[in-house]
């Protein structure tokens, strides 16, 4: 085992051996994307000698070489080398730390030709910086290490914090702060013997940060875990899609009345795909109605109770979308009501866009008129930026869209969705109209990847995001205007796999999540998976 003391040389060797992993991460994790042969790892340290002993198992057939990299708390390389496994698939080696300081070290351990190593955090107390363990030999079997915060979810005035279990821990302390790098106060006087804590009596709208320590049988605390911000979670839902649209409207206008109302069908989406921009511009919610006055009564009552008679109501679509009965009922209440509808979804969409009075040179969005997902994913972003959403068929640029492009000469055209919904031929036809227009396609392998790509592209630099089901349109349609008012993207999810969306939330440091719709749309378990660190 050769000790490499030159840090520059160590860094070069590190890049060669672990080219895909250049940063320490304060988590214990095994990469599921690649079977790692390393398991059952234990790490012991001795503060009197600055010695570290690492041992574990390596599965058969993985080669005998075990590659080790140790990063100190500052992210610098403390050790790098290789050893040969012992008998029966076991390995053990000991080295003396050259950079021993207090804090969390990250051990990266990989089998031969494995680029995604097993990672484990361990604490090294003593050395040049002293330590909190009071001179105790940390190779003692009672030694405890820092927990990892799994989730911290703030709902109203309480936060539920959970963390990983630590071997040999007698209990845990929870520390809280309202500043990420500020002073943390211990909030439990008695040891917590479980791995979760419900912190109550908090102030709504405040961001809270948590750190956890483990305590051993001698009363000695581990180092604190990495600081974790509690994510505020709010679900907005009703008994059905119409009630949910009312609940969303109440969230938007809790302290004042809207200036208008936009009505759309709760049974189908095409006529309303461009409606978010109209509602946002007119300071209005989007409310969904049924087929008749009777099954839309709760929505109509909301209007009469919350909208002054001198305000305006826009109805999206023809009588097949919003019935003449509903139109006449609203008219009889004394409201100024306007129907925006055409012979089909495309003409209706164009009339909605014409009501926006878009300035020349403004970017536009082109989306499929045959599904709702892509248009609704970009709806809040388009509303915030004043971009109209024009819907189109898959293969040929519609005459009204072509004429609109020629008329306003947009600086950029965003095509949302892959070539399976808006073909490459559309891009060619746009270039033939004007070769100077910048065309940006935002399309993934499915609606969920497209939704994530849109949120990544238009990073709004806020800590809030709005979640909606990608399987049904009503909640995302009603919530698109709320998301715009919150300066939030609309992110579509399903209840099977939210790994891509979870990465986005962590990357954008989201601390405020709004979920649209009840558990029938997005299950609590799906939300919990999203909010895990």
pLDDT at 116 over 60: no
The residue with greater pLDDT, 95 or 217, is 217
CA distance 249 to 107: 51
Give residue 21's pLDDT band: very low, low, confident or very high (50, 70, 90): very low
pLDDT of residue 3: 41
What is the percent of the chain with per-residue pLDDT over 90, rounded to a whole number? 66
pLDDT at 335 over 70: yes
pLDDT of residue 124: 56
Q: How far is the CA of 440 from the CAs of 149, 320, 357, in angstroms? A: 39, 35, 23
pLDDT of residue 102: 62
Q: What is the pLDDT of residues 259-272, one digit of tens each?
A: 999 999 999 998 99
Q: Which long-range contacts (CB under 8 A, 24 or more apart) does 528-532 make?
A: 528/151, 528/153, 529/498, 529/502, 530/467, 530/493, 530/498, 530/501, 530/502, 530/505, 531/151, 531/153, 531/231, 531/233, 531/505, 532/150, 532/151, 532/502
Quick one: average pLDDT of 278-304?
A: 97
What is the percent of the chain with per-residue pLDDT over 70, rounded to a whole number? 79
Quick one: average pLDDT of 197-210?
A: 94
pLDDT of residue 120: 73
pLDDT at 245 over 90: yes
Give residue 80's pLDDT band: very low, low, confident or very high (50, 70, 90): low
The whole-chain average pLDDT of the chain stands at 84
3-class DSSP assignment, residue 466:
strand
pLDDT of residue 448: 97
pLDDT of residue 205: 84
CB atoms within 10 A of CB 267: 15
CA distance 298 to 279: 20
What residues contact 42, with CB distance under 8 A and at least 6 apart?
A: 54, 55, 56
The residue with greater pLDDT, 226 or 1, is 226
Quick one: average pLDDT of 522-529?
A: 92
Q: In what helix (H) or strand (E) does residue 492 lie, and over which residues does it extend?
A: strand 489-493
Domains of the chain: 7-129 (2.60.40.10), 149-229 (2.60.40.10), 234-531 (no CATH)
pLDDT at 26 over 50: no
Cα atoms in the 13 Å half-sphere on the side-chain side of 144? 28
Torsion sign (Cα): 495, 498, 502, 508: negative
What residues contact 70, with CB distance under 8 A and at least 6 apart?
A: 52, 77, 78, 79, 80, 97, 105, 106, 107, 108
Taking the model in full, what pTM does it have? 0.72
CA distance 282 to 90: 69
Q: What is the pLDDT of residues 359-378, one digit of tens each?
A: 999 999 999 999 999 999 99
Beta strands in 345-474 (DSSP E): 364-368, 389-392, 412-416, 438-442, 464-469
pLDDT of residue 128: 31
């Amino acid at each position: 085992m050769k000790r490499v003391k030159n840090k520059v040389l160590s860094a070069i060797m590190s890049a060669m051996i672990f080219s895909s992993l250049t940063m320490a991460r304060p988590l214990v994790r095994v990469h599921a994307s690649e079977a790692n042969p390393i398991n059952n790892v234990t790490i012991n340290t001795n503060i009197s000698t600055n010695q570290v002993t690492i041992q574990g198992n390596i599965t058969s057939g993985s080669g005998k070489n075990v590659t080790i990299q140790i990063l100190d708390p500052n992210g610098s390389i403390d050790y790098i080398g290789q050893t040969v496994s012992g008998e029966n698939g076991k390995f053990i080696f000991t080295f003396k730390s050259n950079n021993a300081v207090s804090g969390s070290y990250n051990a990266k351990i990989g089998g031969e030709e494995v680029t995604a190593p097993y990672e484990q955090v361990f604490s090294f107390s003593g050395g040049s910086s002293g330590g909190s363990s009071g001179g105790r030999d940390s190779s003692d079997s009672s030694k405890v290490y820092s927990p990892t915060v799994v989730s911290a979810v703030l709902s109203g005035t309480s936060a539920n914090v959970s963390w990983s279990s630590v071997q040999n821990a007698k209990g845990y302390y929870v520390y809280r702060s309202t500043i990420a790098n500020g002073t943390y106060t211990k909030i439990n006087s008695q040891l917590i013997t479980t791995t979760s804590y419900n912190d109550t009596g908090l102030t709504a709208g405040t961001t809270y940060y948590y750190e956890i320590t483990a305590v051993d049988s001698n009363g000695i605390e581990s180092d604190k875990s990495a600081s974790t911000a509690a994510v505020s979670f709010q679900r907005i839902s009703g008994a059905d899609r119409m009630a949910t649209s009312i609940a969303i409207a109440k969230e938007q206008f809790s302290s004042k009345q809207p200036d208008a109302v936009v009505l759309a069908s709760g049974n189908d989406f095409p006529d309303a795909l461009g409606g978010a921009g109209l509602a946002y511009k007119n300071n209005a919610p989007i409310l969904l109605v049924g087929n008749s006055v009777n099954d839309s009564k709760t929505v109509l009552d909301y209007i009469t109770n919350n909208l002054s008679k001198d305000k305006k109501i826009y109805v999206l679509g023809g009588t097949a979308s919003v019935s003449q009965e509903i139109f006449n009922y609203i008219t009889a209440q004394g409201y100024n009501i306007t129907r925006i509808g055409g012979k089909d979804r495309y003409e209706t969409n164009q009339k909605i866009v014409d009501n926006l009075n878009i300035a020349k040179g403004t970017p536009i969005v082109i989306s499929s008129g045959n599904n709702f997902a892509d248009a609704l994913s970009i709806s809040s972003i388009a509303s915030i930026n004043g971009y109209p959403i024009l819907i189109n068929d898959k293969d040929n640029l519609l005459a009204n869209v072509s004429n609109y492009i020629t008329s306003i000469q947009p600086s950029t055209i965003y095509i949302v969705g892959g070539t399976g919904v808006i073909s490459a031929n559309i891009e060619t036809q746009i270039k033939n109209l004007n070769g100077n227009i910048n065309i940006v396609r935002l399309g993934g392998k499915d609606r969920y990847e497209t939704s994530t790509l849109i949120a990544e592209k238009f990073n709004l630099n806020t800590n809030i995001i709005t979640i909606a089901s990608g399987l049904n349109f009503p909640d995302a349609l009603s919530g698109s205007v709320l998301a715009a008012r919150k300066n939030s993207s609309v992110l579509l999810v399903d209840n099977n796999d939210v790994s891509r969306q979870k990465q986005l939330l962590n990357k954008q440091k989201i601390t405020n999540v709004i979920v649209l719709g009840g558990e029938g749309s997005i299950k609590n378990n799906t939300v919990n998976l999203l909010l895990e660190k």
